[in-house]
A = this chain, B = another copy of it.
Amino acid sequence: MEKLKKYVSVKDEDQFYHQGAVELLVFNFLLILTILTIWLFKNHRFRFLHETGGAMLYGLVMGLIIRYATKASDVESGTVYECEKLKSGPSTLLINITNQVYEYQYKREISNHNVNGHQGNAMLQKMTFDPSIFFNILLPPIIFHAGYSLKKRHFFRNLGSILTYAFLGTAISCIVIGLIMYGFVKAMVHIGQLEGWEFHFTDCLFFGSLMSATDPVTVLAIFHELHVDTDLYTLLFGESVLNDAVAIVLTYSISIYSPKENPNVFDAAAFFQSVGNFLGIFAGSFAMGSSYAVVTALISFMYLTKFTKLCEFPMLETGLFFLLSWSAFLSAETAGLTGIVAVLFCGVTQAHYTYNNLSPDSKMRTKQLFEFMNFLAENVIFCYMGLALFTFQNHIFNPLFVFGAFVAVFVARACNIYPLSFLLNLGRNQKIPRNFQHMMMFSGLRGAIAFALAIRDTESQPKQMMFTTALLIVFFTVWVFGGGTTPMLTWLQIRVGVDPDEDLKTEAASQGTSNLDKNTTKAESAWLFRIWYGFDHKYLKPILTHTGPPLTTTLPEWCNPIARLLTSPSAYGDQLKADDTDYIINNDELTENCESSAHIPVPAQDRTGSTQATGKEDIHEGDLGLGGYKLQLEHTGGQSQNSLA
């Protein structure tokens, strides 16, 4: 008999394997549907529903089916058992049930009011997977890809503005949302809706910080497809990427803000501790990410020149690149920092240094690999968001809170964009026009990060209400604003079909005549980075990559022996090829290839993939972006020096 029982247990276990397979199959099925739909849409040039919106829609339908078409099977799971012998929850629990020991693994703590939600459907429980999967598996590739595909030239040109929007703008947004929500919460308490709840101002700020993370995916995909004005694109892209990082760290800092006494009274010490936390975590994550990238660059550089021709093994190169970048994320998490921020700056730094050391084959491999991972992760997240509306079992829907949140989000976005744009325009030579500001206002979609931050903690009732509300805002903004992007662009008369390198060409053409003007424009952000750039160009690039001037020319003479040791032999010949890193940015070939048959006039040059962008074009790029800054200074002499001062 015991033998038979054993077989039964093996079969039970198999049942569990199949369960895992079923869930994965559901996601695969949703993704396949999404892909087939996107094809159809792309083919008919429908732009009112982006793939992310489609993925969310399918997820929603699937969630509805799972919710109402599957039966409640596991009746016992709603019961709570007493255990007096234990003092705290161990990570593994061994329980003797009718002479058979079962192992149970700690999952989470549950508030008493949530216990009833656990009654019932096992399938629903399986489909709502662990938020840590979001943070450890799905988000890193998306964020890394964003960093890796940053259009560096345009980014650095607008860096001051981007930083302002990202840091100051997110702080404004967080505080404004927090204040408005606090008003609404007070009103709700007044009419007796939140009896017995604890809902402090810090909770409102927490909501404010998580709702401040804007999502670049949908709008930017459309922008990229339509070739919207590059400056607008860069501003939005830079803002939303950095703003995610800021919002994540901000949310964490607020969640650990713990005033000693009354939580409603402002505690200066605790506040400054939170601010310190914010700065410390941000800086630490930045350092962690960058240093991993530098290590990768060094390894690839060393292996490439000193030990072996590593470019002969593109698989090893790609593998190392992938693993070290992921390690940046994991190390930051392990050290108590923010992995997402680390992996973002790791991506930026990898693109700047390591990319130059990769073999052509590896350049393409890494680019395609990260693109693909980004594509999959993005669609999984949006599918999951759709699913969550019906499969998550502890939704708390409060119309007043939802209304308040919608108001707060839009007011906060307005308070972020318009005043900051006004201030920035005071300093900018190339103003941010009104229609750009309106477009930025309109593009404040909320997406994966807001969702991930909200789902991370859904234990207390206020947090559950926030999660429900955040989910609704994500749905609304992705569908309505995402779908309205194209009409809005037309209505605001924003240029589409712009060649991203157009400005370079006009600059190049006018180089002889109006040096003063151009260099003034350049100088806008240049003062911030002149020192850094010089250091990077003269020392870091030659040490870490095969580009840039030989160290022998940039270091003082007495360093020559060391300089000769560290300089790559190929550096002497390649000085002009300095900045070809800028070319890894032609994002998804997906949209890239799409417009080769589109009716938007795009110059042929724009269609070239990253691998073809060598030689002459590189020099263009290098000359006129940051890379060429030095050359121009030499050209124009004292005149430009004056304009920079």
Residue positions of A touching B, CB distance < 8 A: 2-4, 6-7, 9-14, 16-18, 20-22, 24-25, 28-29, 31-32, 35-36, 38-40, 42-43, 74, 76-83, 85-98, 100-112, 115, 118, 122, 125, 132, 135-136, 198, 255-256, 258, 263, 299, 303, 307-310, 312-316, 318-320, 322-324, 326-327, 329-331, 333-334, 336, 339, 361, 365, 368-369, 371-372, 375-376, 457, 459-460, 588-590, 593-594, 596-597
Contact = CB atoms under 8 A, between A and B. Distances in A.
A96 B83 contact: yes
Given A9-B109, A18-B334, A318-B372, A101 B80 contact: yes
A319 B101 contact: no
A315 B31 contact: no
A110 B102 contact: yes
A276 to B, nearest CB: 17
A327 B25 CA distance: 6
Nearest to A14: B336
A313 B303 CA distance: 35
A38 B103 CA distance: 40
Nearest to A44: B308
A14 B322 CA distance: 25
B20 A132 contact: yes
Given A3-B263, A326-B28, A327-B29, A81 B103 contact: no
A24 B326 CA distance: 9
B94 A115 contact: yes
Contacts of A320: 32, 35-36
Q: Is the interface of A mostly helix, strand, loop or mixed?
A: helix
A596 B9 contact: no
Given A74-B92, A96-B82, A314 B39 contact: no
B255 A10 contact: yes
Contacts of A103: 106-110, 118
10 contacts: A10-B457, A29-B327, A36-B320, A39-B310, A43-B307, A81-B85, A88-B98, A93-B93, A103-B107, A104-B107
Nearest to A51: B316
A6 B202 CA distance: 14
Contacts of A79: 94
Given A7-B258, A32-B320, A369 B369 contact: yes
A318 B100 CA distance: 47
A91 B122 contact: yes
Given A101-B110, A108-B13, A593 B312 contact: yes
Given A81-B86, A594-B312, A596-B312, A74 B91 contact: yes
A97 B89 contact: yes
Contact of A319 (B12, B31, B105): B31
B101 A109 contact: yes
Contacts of A593: 312-314
A98 B87 CA distance: 6
B21 A334 contact: yes
A589 B315 contact: yes
A38 B313 CA distance: 10
Given A39-B303, A74-B91, A315 B372 contact: yes
A613 to B, nearest CB: 16
B107 A594 contact: no
A76 B86 contact: yes
Contact of A92 (B39, B118, B318): B118
Contacts of A108: 13, 102-103
Contacts of A597: 309, 312
A263 to B, nearest CB: 6
A461 to B, nearest CB: 12
Contacts of A16: 106, 132
A9 B97 contact: no
Contact of A97 (B88, B258, B308, B368): B88
Contacts of A372: 315, 318-319, 322, 365, 369
Given A13-B108, A39-B307, A313-B593, 15 more contacts: A9-B459, A16-B132, A21-B330, A24-B136, A28-B326, A31-B323, A74-B92, A81-B95, A83-B97, A93-B93, A94-B115, A103-B107, A103-B109, A319-B376, A369-B369
A422 to B, nearest CB: 39
B102 A135 contact: no
A590 B313 contact: yes
Contacts of A9: 109, 459
Contact of A40 (B3, B307, B365, B375): B307
A111 B93 CA distance: 14
Closest 7 A/B residue pairs (Cβ)? A43-B308, A104-B104, A21-B333, A89-B102, A25-B330, A76-B90, A315-B590
A9 to B, nearest CB: 5
A523 to B, nearest CB: 39
Contacts of A87: 97-98
A109 to B, nearest CB: 5
A249 to B, nearest CB: 14
A336 B18 contact: yes
A299 to B, nearest CB: 7
A38 B312 CA distance: 12
Contacts of A589: 314-315, 361
A624 B590 CA distance: 38
